[in-house]
Chain A
Amino acid sequence: MPVLARWIEKAGIPTVVVTMMPAVAVALMAPRVVGVEFPFGHPFGPPGDAATQRRVLLTVLTVLAGAGSFGTRVDVDLEWPTPLKEAYRSWQPKEPSPIVARMLGR
């Protein structure tokens, strides 16, 4: 996705990437990055939590509109509401993805 953002930005349309892995998006040279410390699959927040989703979306729009230069990264200071172990388990697919299954020798 950071590379897709670059191609679209290069074509003349400003972009921002909101991601659980902001360090990776910055390393892959995305022009604007917003980081969230949420489990994978949830870039805008928990289901049914409109307040969190709105806060993330407003931060993303602020960075899209107001970042002054390439490589701007802003992280959202919000903690995921469920305990780490539970969140860690809940984002993972019900069965390992094909590539993981292959690596595990299944």
Chain B
Amino acid sequence: MIVDSFRFLPRSFRGFYENPVALEGEDDEVWTPLEKRLSGATIALLSSAGLHVLSSQEPFDAERERSEPTWGDPTHRVIPSSTPQGSLGMTHLHVNADDVLADHEVALPLRGLQQLVDEGTVGGMASSHYSVMGYQEAGLRTWRDETAPAIVGQLRDERVDGLILAPV
């Protein structure tokens, strides 16, 4: 079964996605094999849902996007692995947040991953997971120069072996 990438997309939006062009300089093959067994590997998650920890973090900036519709907040949030259901907020003006707020596992399966660690399928879960807000300016300059290096630095510090990215 081959997924229809446009099944849920309004017809008028198709033209924006049907013939995507790789960012300049990003058209070569990049490859790092996961050399460990999964049962010995530490895994982290990254969601583009614009998630923040309600008790301790600022939400992504929706107000500026409302006044500058081609701008999207390029910062990121670090989500601790112990974050319980109900303690995340979501700021993303392009999708309905109800289901992610009702069940964070829809976008960031912390409990599901922990269960696989407990069963021995996965070696470990990183202490930190990540969220960005997926609607971004075309050049992705801040993501490239600041957000990605910051996330890579923390992944290295925590000796993460593999990262799952889940755009919404």
Contacts and interface: CB of A to CB of B under 8 A. Distances in A.
Q: Which of B34, B143, B167 has the most CB of A within 10 A?
A: B167
A47 B106 contact: yes
Interface in A38-82: 38-48, 50, 53-54, 57-58, 60-61, 64-65, 69-71, 75-77
Contacts of A13: 32, 152, 155-156, 160-163
A29 B5 contact: no
Query: How big is the B interface, by class?
Result: 35 or more
A102 to B, nearest CB: 5
A93 B95 CA distance: 5
Contacts of A21: 5-6, 9, 17, 167
Contact of A8 (B4, B41, B121, B155): B155
Contacts, number: 224
Contacts of B9: 21, 40
A90 B97 CA distance: 10
B162 A64 contact: yes
A31 B164 contact: no
B7 A28 contact: no
Contacts of B107: 41-44
Given A3-B23, A29-B30, A54-B112, A99 B70 contact: yes
Given A28-B20, A53-B105, A98-B66, A44 B162 contact: no
Interface of A: 1, 3-24, 27-29, 31, 35-48, 50, 53-54, 57-58, 60-61, 64-65, 69-71, 75-77, 84, 87-88, 90-94, 97-99, 101-102
